[in-house]
Amino acid sequence: MLSALLAAAFAGGHRIEVDLRGPVPAGAVILGYHRGSKSYVVDEKAVEGAGRVVFEGDEPLAPGHYFVVLPPDRDLVDLVVSDDQDFAVQVTAPDWRGTAKVTGSDENAAFLELARFQAEQADAMRRVQLEHAGERGSPELKAAEEAVRAKVWAAQDALIAKHPDWLAAAMLAAAREPVVPAEVTDEAARFDWFRAHFFDGVDFAQPGLVRSPILEQKLLTYLDRLTGRTHTAQIEAVSELVSRARANPEVFEYVAVTLLNRYAESKIVCFDAVYVHLVDTVYRTGDATWADPETVARIVANADRLSPTQCGAKPPDLSLPDAKGRRRALADVQGPATVVLFWDPACGSCKRQVPEMAAVLAQHPEVGVYTVSLDDQPGWADTLAGWGLERGVHVARPAGAEDALAGWDVHGTPRLFVLDGDHRVLVKHIDARALADVLARQTAGD
């Protein structure tokens, strides 16, 4: 009768009891959850004299991969929080993790049993590898390892098949990597098959995957290891991921925010174009309902700042006076590539880097050169010539004419852009070594 009343009382909330048996150490038990590579604390409670801790509340916990941290050594017991949110975890000293049992949640009982089995098989794998030490790559070792993996997969398959609606099943399926069929033998074809099927096991409609390490790992693996490092390849992949994530509002928010932050912080050349693409297709469209208007406006403004000079874009023309006061336009500079350099006579980095760039440009007389000094004080042209850069068109921004560089997003010097024959941005913000590689490819017709 009492258990029925408790179940009814917590039907709309959560109640997770942790029962520590054996010598109970002083300290606190923590309830938390995973979210990508980070962990977050939900609640923390001191262990009572009887070794019993209860985490409860009137609101249900959001679904996901949770854990309890136990004193004194901060051992973790993994849990799944989904529909069953009224259950008890029993652990016995000194092996809290190995003795963990769950009552009141069939999903967690099966999840812990599978976790123990996988730990046993991990030990078996280590024994196999020790037995075959020095035989790395041998058929015998491969066969032994495959036998252990097959046992783990069979156990996972059994849980997934028996309880396909469980969050635990969704987590197991999502964590798997696809197995390329044996009949696909060509190396490139095997890679393409693997990439095409990489998300087969991921249910993007399952919000519980947001609170787990799995979804973030899959996203980053796909983008870092399985997608080309060009901005066009990344944009195509990101578009696919965002489209998949729209299956669930919470997953959509998580994927969109994770990817936006990734490309906002990226130092890889041209990846700001991926950031702009995400802003244009999620935030500018009004789809980012989780963000307040001020945040959206700030993000959109940042994309607007980057957009004119993102790789592939044709930035605004420049028309500034040279050392003799003549207006010189960037549009008049032609070649298979054009280097646009913003610099300052008082810039210490410019004093070191511009001569290196000048040496590279000397090897490519067919490449157009347009430099802009951000200081028009007398002698700026002599400074540039003294650094070895005389060929090309050299101009200076007049004092107070900040708008003359509108759209170029010049913050700091030196800032170098390489344009193609149509004056679209090929690359930007690179050093002399990268400039040499880019010009060699561009002038060769690549």
| Contacting residues for 52 by C-beta, under 8 A, at least 6 apart | 17, 18, 19, 20
Q: In the predicted model, is pLDDT for residue 240 greater than 90?
A: yes
pLDDT-based confidence at residue 129 (cuts at 50, 70, 90): confident
The pLDDT mean for the chain works out to 93
pTM given for the model? 0.89
Q: Where along the chain do its domains lie?
A: 2-104, 177-309, 319-443
| Contacting residues for 2 by C-beta, under 8 A, at least 6 apart | none
Q: How far apart are CA 28 and CA 69, in angstroms?
A: 8
Which candidate, 74, 79, 69, 153, places its Cα nearest to that of 111? Answer: 79
CA–centroid distance for 94 within its chain: 38
Look at the block and give the residue holding tokens 């980012």: 288
Contact by Cβ (8 Å): 147, 124: no
| Widest pairwise Cα distance in the chain | 96
Q: How far apart are CA 417 and CA 410, in angstroms?
A: 10
pLDDT of residue 445: 60
Which fold is adopted by the domain 2-104?
Answer: Immunoglobulin-like (2.60.40)
Q: In the predicted model, is pLDDT for residue 212 greater than 70?
A: yes
Helix (H) or strand (E) holding 415: strand 415-420
DSSP state of 283: I
Q: Kindly report which listed range (88-92, 275-279, 408-412, 417-421) carries the lowest average pLDDT score.
A: 408-412
* CATH classification number, 319-443, choose in 3.40.50.150, 3.30.70.270, 3.40.30.10, 3.40.50.10860: 3.40.30.10
As given in the structure block, the two tokens for residue 103 are 């009552």
Contact by Cβ (8 Å): 175, 214: yes
Task: Identify each DSSP E strand in 363-402 by its residue range.
Answer: 368-373, 393-396
Three-class SS of residue 90? strand
